[in-house]
Amino acid sequence: MTDPAEKTRDLTENANRPYALELKGVSKAFGSIQANYKVDLQLKHGEILALLGENGSGKTTLMNMVAGIYFPDEGQIFVDGEEVVIGSPRDAYKYKIGMIHQHFKLVDLFSAAENVVLGVNDGSRYSIKEVNERVRQIADRYGFNINPKDKIHEMSVSQKQTVEILKVLYRGAEILILDEPTAVLTPQETEVLFSVLRQMKADGKSIVIITHKLHEVLAISDRVAVLRKGEHIATVNTAESTESSLTEMMVGKKVSLNIDRTEPHDTAERLVVKGLSGHNPEGLKVLDDVSFTAFGGEILGIAGIAGSGQRELLEAVAGIYSPDEGEITYIEPKNGDRVNLRKKTPLQIRELGVRLSFVPEDRLGMGLVGSMDITDNVMLRSYRSGRTILLNRNDPKKLAEDIVRDLEVATPNLRTPVRRLSGGNVQKVLVGREIASAPSVLMAAYPVRGLDINSSYAIYNLLNDQKERGVAVIFVGEDLDVLIELCDRILVINSGRVTGIVDARTTDKETVGFLMTKSDDRPKSDERGGNS
Amino acid sequence: MIVFEFLLNALAIGITFLYGSMGETITEKAGHLNLGIPGIMSVGSACGCAVLNVLCRDGCPVHPVLIVILALLATLAGGALMGLLYSFLAVSLRSNQNVTGLAMTIFGVGLAKFIFAKLEVDGVFYTRSTKYFRFPFANTTSSLQYIGILVFLGIALAIVSSVVLSRTRVGLHLRAVGESPATADAAGINVTKYKYIATIIGSAIAALGGLFYIVDFQGSQEAYLTVEAMGWLSVALVIFSTWRPYVSIFGSFVFGVLYILGSYLPSFGLKVDMATSNLIKTLPYVVTIIVLIITSIRNRPENQPPASLGVSYFREDR
């Protein structure tokens, strides 16, 4: 609603009202990690506020405290000027606050209306007909394209999201919080969502949209609150912001980490990826014409917002994910033979020396068996090489001992199931095992996520060691400071597309941050005008 | 009239499966695979029979209605206690549901055999009470001589539980718990409470099937030896009826027909030996496998077991 007259009316109408939602000095820590620190935030009536920040900047945690999922360690929350205590999602609904989470909480077998009414007990007689009718009314009012009788399992992702929004509206929410609602949507679906949001705003609802996509912030929001490393940096009017000013606030000033970095030497082509494209099971394009070359003896960093295709890219190289088109060529370091990896099974690719370690979304699921001990997990990579039908446990045991000693894995003994180890120690076991196999390509995704400083440096040193030995290291990271100090080159991936490959020694955070968030499909000029 | 008698008897034996499968369905709707049903039916019927044995020792001096009610209450209590034990193990302690269920069956069948052996030593009197479970106005010429009040109670309960499951808020919440406990939890539904109550009610209802089988359908003192088999057939009926109590009314009749078909074949003029007649008794399992194959091929989510069946729910696991 950029119609000036309308805007003025909105402003005068809401000028004397207290904020719809106000946070004062809200902090939250998980163990030693400070997720939010003394955050102040104001949400006006009838506005769309974008909450912007990098991965791990504390956006979702902050809003989860408003929605009653977490309880703040300190600070106050005010709704309509009155201080409130929100201890559960139920409390949040009492104050007319509803949050639409990134991961939908829906019963697949139920109809939309059944999901909407689930858990609502207003004392009235339960009649699915009346619920259908009420859901339809709400849907009509905001222009949702949904049939209350449709089953969730028959719906598209965007329809499921609509049901989540309906759930919140059905419970009478006046403040809606959407956690990265566009992450799962196609551009067209995003447009539809935005028009719904504008309609809800016109209806007087106050909306917080959590995002890290700059063009969406510019397209939909009235104001932007920027979080960085858990702290509130600034809240600015969207009209006065640009992509670059927001990027600067998001990434902040460079922090020096003093990671040792040697000049790469004896570099040789090791992995050539050309024109790789692919989609996910939902049919969204996750890789779009990705091309790059990884050299032995250097660390190639991959930077990008979470879910931009990093996982699929690594899995494609490892032979787990099968892309629609493109070439992946591996060059044998010994004799220079070129091998097409797309024709190989994951096992054959592994035997060539291409190793994938760390997929942290599922640390245990992808690489280790939680209920087995360190030795057995180490053996998972070698049991095929035995010569007798009985397992040879001595070598893996020795290797496990080496890993525990060299990487300082904190474990009571080698027989402890790995799921009892802390995250950092699990990661050390994983990387130790992969490195022990003397790889020629080592891919590590988020290897230091959740690790303390010392463990992180231990991992950096391991990667540097491998680089020294002539291994082509591919490092997917999220902390730009680390990427810039550790890597030799940085490939930036953005919505499945390579938006740039930069020299890590000469680049800066703003450049990488901008490449990560800029959009090739510039929002059409009329997008900010909406449908007014 | 042999065909008519056959069909009525099939309906009657089917009621055993109906109670068992209804109880199991209610439990499974809460996401709990309770393989303890055979044990629960055994223990429940043992409790009922123990009470009947006391009441009928001296020629049943108590009012018939009271006899029936006390027997039913004892059976329900026995089943409910087994359900409570299962819930404590599988819900609160989150033990493996298959293991817990099988253990309940082994324990329940053994305990019931112990109780019945004790009754045999004391003298079997519970078989005298069969007539109280029939309608007083049903004489030897009426077709009601084969089907007593528990038959009609069973069908009524199946209809009621169908309506509760599909048309009420409680049913909606219960199905949500079985489909996606995390979603139900987020919606403010007390998952643990629903799991406990559904398992306990389901176990109590299943136990009635055991009592019906021993006291009403068989009315013999050897009947307790075959209750366990009835329990397994009930579990199969849940799959046959694709987790719908109203389908299991029909399914229980089909199971009943197939189960007693072997013993009626000679009456229909077909000569079968003992082995064949016993082999025919396995037909219910065969049709269950056929139903499983068909529903798996069609793969409609509506015909599948509750999504979280067999998975313990722990909030922090998310």
Q: How do residues A192-228 score in pLDDT, each as one tens digit?
A: 899 999 999 999 999 999 987 788 889 899 999 999 8
Q: Among A432, A357, A344, which residue's Cα sits nearest to residue A396?
A: A432
Q: Give the homologous superfamily in CATH for domain A1-96+174-184+205-249.
A: P-loop containing nucleotide triphosphate hydrolases (3.40.50.300)
Look at residue A356 in the predicted model and tell me its pLDDT. 67
User: Inter-chain contact A119–B187, Cβ cutoff 8 Å?
Assistant: yes
Assess B316–A contact: CB distance below 8 Å, yes or no. no
Question: What mean pLDDT, rounded, does chain A reach?
Answer: 83
Question: Considering CB atoms only, which of A88, A107, A121 is closest to B183?
Answer: A107
* A318 membership: H or E segment, kind and range: helix A310-318
Query: Buried b / exposed e across B285-312, counting CB within 10 Å, b at 16+?
Result: eebbeebeeebeeeeeeeeebbbbbbeb
Which segment of A86-90, A229-233, B244-248 scores lowest on mean pLDDT? Answer: A86-90
Is B1 exposed, middle or buried, given 0-12, 13-18 or 19+ CB atoms closer than 10 A? exposed
Extract the tokens encoding A85.
């205590």
Which regions of chain A carry the CATH code 3.40.50.300? 1-96+174-184+205-249, 267-353+439-450+467-520
Contacts of A61 (CB under 8 A, 6+ apart): A28, A35, A36, A70, A230
Closest chain B C-alpha to A105 CA, distance in angstroms: 5
- Cα angle for residues B304, B305, B308 (degrees, 5° grid): 125
Task: Provide ipTM, 2 decimals.
Answer: 0.84
Instruction: Give the mean model confidence (pLDDT) for residues A309-314.
Output: 86
Which residues are registered as beta bridge partners of A231? A228
Look at residue A2 in the predicted model and tell me its pLDDT. 46
A119 contacts in chain B (CB < 8 Å): 173, 176, 184, 186-189
Look at residue B173 in the predicted model and tell me its pLDDT. 94
Extract the tokens encoding B170.
């409680």
Instruction: Give the mean model confidence (pLDDT) for residues A307-312.
Output: 83
Distance CA B119, CA A459 (A): 72
B175 contacts in chain A (CB < 8 Å): 107, 109-110
Which segment of A106-115, A262-271, A452-461, B226-235 scores lowest on mean pLDDT? Answer: A452-461
User: Inter-chain contact B176–A151, Cβ cutoff 8 Å?
Assistant: no
Q: Which ranges of chain B have pLDDT less than 70?
A: 60, 141, 316-318
Q: Is the dihedral of CA A151, A157, A162, A163 positive or negative?
A: positive
Assess A153–B contact: CB distance below 8 Å, yes or no. yes
pTM: predicted TM-score of the whole model, two decimal places:
0.76
Distance CA A493, CA A501 (A): 9
Task: Measure Cα distances from A60 to A8, A179, A227, A230, B65 in Å.
Answer: 32, 7, 11, 10, 63
Look at residue A530 in the predicted model and tell me its pLDDT. 36
A151 contacts in chain B (CB < 8 Å): 301
Closest chain B C-alpha to A8 CA, distance in angstroms: 39
Which segment of A84-88, A184-188, A482-486, B244-248 scores lowest on mean pLDDT? Answer: A184-188
> pLDDT band at A386, cuts 50/70/90?
low
> pLDDT band at A524, cuts 50/70/90?
very low
| pLDDT score of A528 more than 60 | no
Closest chain A C-alpha to B46 CA, distance in angstroms: 39
Look at residue A529 in the predicted model and tell me its pLDDT. 36
CATH code of the domain occupying A267-353+439-450+467-520: 3.40.50.300
Closest chain B C-alpha to A424 CA, distance in angstroms: 19
Query: Buried b / exposed e across B212-242, counting CB within 10 Å, b at 16+?
Result: bbbbbbbbebebbeebbebbbbbbbbbbbbb
Look at residue B258 in the predicted model and tell me its pLDDT. 92
A107 and A152 Cβ atoms separated by less than 8 Å: yes
Q: Which residue has the higher pLDDT, B284 or A427?
A: B284
Q: Which residue has the higher pLDDT, A273 or A403?
A: A273
Distance of CA A137 to the CA centre of its chain: 35
Question: Considering CB atoms only, which of B168, B176, B302 is closest to A107?
Answer: B176
Extract the tokens encoding B108.
């329940």
Distance CA B299, CA A201 (A): 42
Cα radius of gyration (chain A): 25
Give domain B2-317's CATH number out of 3.30.160, 1.10.3470, 3.30.70, 1.10.860: 1.10.3470
User: Inter-chain contact B301–A151, Cβ cutoff 8 Å?
Assistant: yes
Q: Among A364, A361, A332, which residue's Cα sits nearest to residue A476?
A: A361
Task: Measure Cα distances from B193 to A123, B128, B164, B174, B198 in Å.
Answer: 19, 40, 17, 10, 8
Mutate to test the interface with B, among A69, A105, A130, A364 (most CBs of B within 10 A): A105
Question: Considering CB atoms only, which of A109, A121, A128 is closest to B302?
Answer: A109
| Strand ranges of the sheet holding A268-279, from the earlier edge strand across to the other edge | A285-296, A268-279, A325-331, A338-340
Instruction: Give the mean model confidence (pLDDT) for residues A331-338.
Output: 82
SS (H, E, C) A277-303: EEECCCCCEEEEEEEEEEEECCEEEEE
